[in-house]
Structure 1
């Protein structure tokens, strides 16, 4: 029994028509019928009931179809895994991150990985949390860095660090001397993350404002933390951003006040596929976890 026998069998089982199956396989019908007959002879079981009107699977054929499909799924999984192992030597390793956590640490990670795996092409993508989860499940990325909890049976999440929140404002246009003055911001206009783009994060920001006793006047929304900070700098309003942004921002026009009274933090997590045990992934995760103290 060869793989081609199984492929031919599946084609006939799916089409239930030898003519259509032969067209799908780009072979003529007589050789296809001969291959199926050989398979039935080897298995010593009839797989199809044939008559002039139609082709049907026998009970044995139905069982065989289910098992053969499972074999091909296993082969696909084995092929993907083999490719992953091969990428330890050469190939591509894709890392996604959300805009609000980008820092010099991610640049350092790429430099570190390039030294360890010189023949691998490392690529960085700025991607929202939701899209990262989909991409990882579909093996379109190898590692992600997200904010907010996830629920996926395929994904392993490891806490990188807990991030607080800070108010950011243009100090040429507004003055806030301390956290005590935050409730007075109810008259100010706010720039926030787009609700559809980052729903969990959007809700957290509303919770923060509620804690200080007001509902924010949101006049502009953006999908990127750098855009939000730039809009604040341009005088379109104030915002609440992760404290990690404050630590990595050197702009002299901007000021940040950390919200320490409210005990609300978000988890920044490193996500990988549960079955991914490649050396590159392990090296990348270990590097980031060892750097968590710098946040």
Structure 2
């Protein structure tokens, strides 16, 4: 049984007249009659009761008619979906992101994607930079918003956005109530809470270079991969932490966020695997290249 058999049968079942059905299908009547007879033989079922003056559906024919209409409607719907997938308009995409992206950037990114691709199923995962790179290489995620550098040749990057570093202090800190930016020399050698290098070299080096730029001493007291945990450790007076501006959205009654007297940025890049660009991934990459903070 082929799809044409079902289409021919539907026309005959609705017209109950071979001549009218043949005209509707834009074919001659003898081939149509032969195709219906072939369908009955293939199914080993009588679908039509024929006389010289009339054509009527048997009970089996009525059932096949309803089934055929449903099948062709489903096929038409699924074909449209297949075409949308082929055009990169529908499907699934997995996006990895770092901790600081979640507060301001991620909601705007997801809104932008959903507006352009309303039929897209998006999966997001919060991962360290190292985890994001590994997930891109294995195909577990399609895109990532991470802190460079990215040394893997299989991965492509595009500058995404920058945000300034600020300092997170315990509320009990002597500088917590000061006005104006905090001088780096005033917090030199203080216990520092920082993301470990192995979680993401870019973030670690960005903070380290802040100390180098200001000619101050870096004194690591505690490591944390999550921004929320960093803030909690500062609140518990384990030390201070230099965090991106967006981290200030984590409110805690026992911390304050202050600007610093050295302008220093954390960079985030859009990253994807250059050899696994489906039309959908390619489209989302091009869309996100237009993103403005």
- 1:109/1:287 contact within 8 Å kept: no
- 1:96/1:141 contact within 8 Å kept: yes
- 1:164/1:259 contact within 8 Å kept: no
Structure 1 residues 200 and 119 mapped into 2: Cα distance closer, same or farther (>3 Å)?
closer
User: Secondary structure of 2:169's partner?
Assistant: strand
- Cα deviation for residue 103 of structure 1 reads 2.5
User: Which position in structure 1 is the counterpart of 2:113?
Assistant: 113
User: Which position in structure 2 is the counterpart of 1:6?
Assistant: none
User: Secondary structure of 2:183's partner?
Assistant: helix
Q: Are 1:98 and 2:110 an aligned pair? A: no
Structure 1 residues 261 and 244 mapped into 2: Cα distance closer, same or farther (>3 Å)?
same
- 1:105/1:291 contact within 8 Å kept: no
Counterpart-to-counterpart distance in 1, 2:120 and 2:201:
35
Q: After superposition, where does 1:92-171 map in structure 2 within 5 Å?
A: 92-171=92-171
Deviations 1:181-239 (A, max 9, x none): 33122353221112322233223322322433432332211111221122112322211
Q: Are 1:257 and 2:253 an aligned pair? A: no
Counterpart-to-counterpart distance in 2, 1:269 and 1:156:
10
- Cα deviation for residue 250 of structure 1 reads 4.8
User: Which position in structure 2 is the counterpart of 1:269?
Assistant: 269
Counterpart-to-counterpart distance in 1, 2:286 and 2:228:
27
User: Which position in structure 2 is the counterpart of 1:28?
Assistant: none
- Cα deviation for residue 180 of structure 1 reads 5.5
Counterpart-to-counterpart distance in 2, 1:156 and 1:250:
35
Structure 1 residues 181 and 291 mapped into 2: Cα distance closer, same or farther (>3 Å)?
same
Counterpart-to-counterpart distance in 2, 1:117 and 1:181:
46
Counterpart-to-counterpart distance in 2, 1:237 and 1:196:
21
Structure 1 residues 213 and 112 mapped into 2: Cα distance closer, same or farther (>3 Å)?
closer
Counterpart-to-counterpart distance in 1, 2:269 and 2:255:
28
- 1:109/1:284 contact within 8 Å kept: no
User: Which position in structure 1 is the counterpart of 2:243?
Assistant: 241
- Cα deviation for residue 154 of structure 1 reads 2.0
Counterpart-to-counterpart distance in 1, 2:260 and 2:279:
39
* 1:182 equivalent among 173, 181, 184: 184
Structure 1 residues 87 and 230 mapped into 2: Cα distance closer, same or farther (>3 Å)?
farther
- 2:148/2:202 contact within 8 Å kept: yes
- 1:92/1:120 contact within 8 Å kept: yes
| RMSD, matched Cα | 3.0
Structure 1 residues 200 and 290 mapped into 2: Cα distance closer, same or farther (>3 Å)?
closer
- Cα deviation for residue 147 of structure 1 reads 0.5
Structure with higher Rg: it is: 2
User: Which position in structure 2 is the counterpart of 1:230?
Assistant: 232
Counterpart-to-counterpart distance in 2, 1:240 and 1:154:
32
Structure 1 residues 167 and 147 mapped into 2: Cα distance closer, same or farther (>3 Å)?
same
Name stretches of at least 5 consecutive residues in structure 2 with no aligned partner. 1-81
- TM-score w.r.t. length of structure 2: 0.60
Structure 1 residues 281 and 260 mapped into 2: Cα distance closer, same or farther (>3 Å)?
farther
Counterpart-to-counterpart distance in 2, 1:87 and 1:230:
46
Name stretches of at least 5 consecutive residues in structure 1 with no aligned partner. 1-81
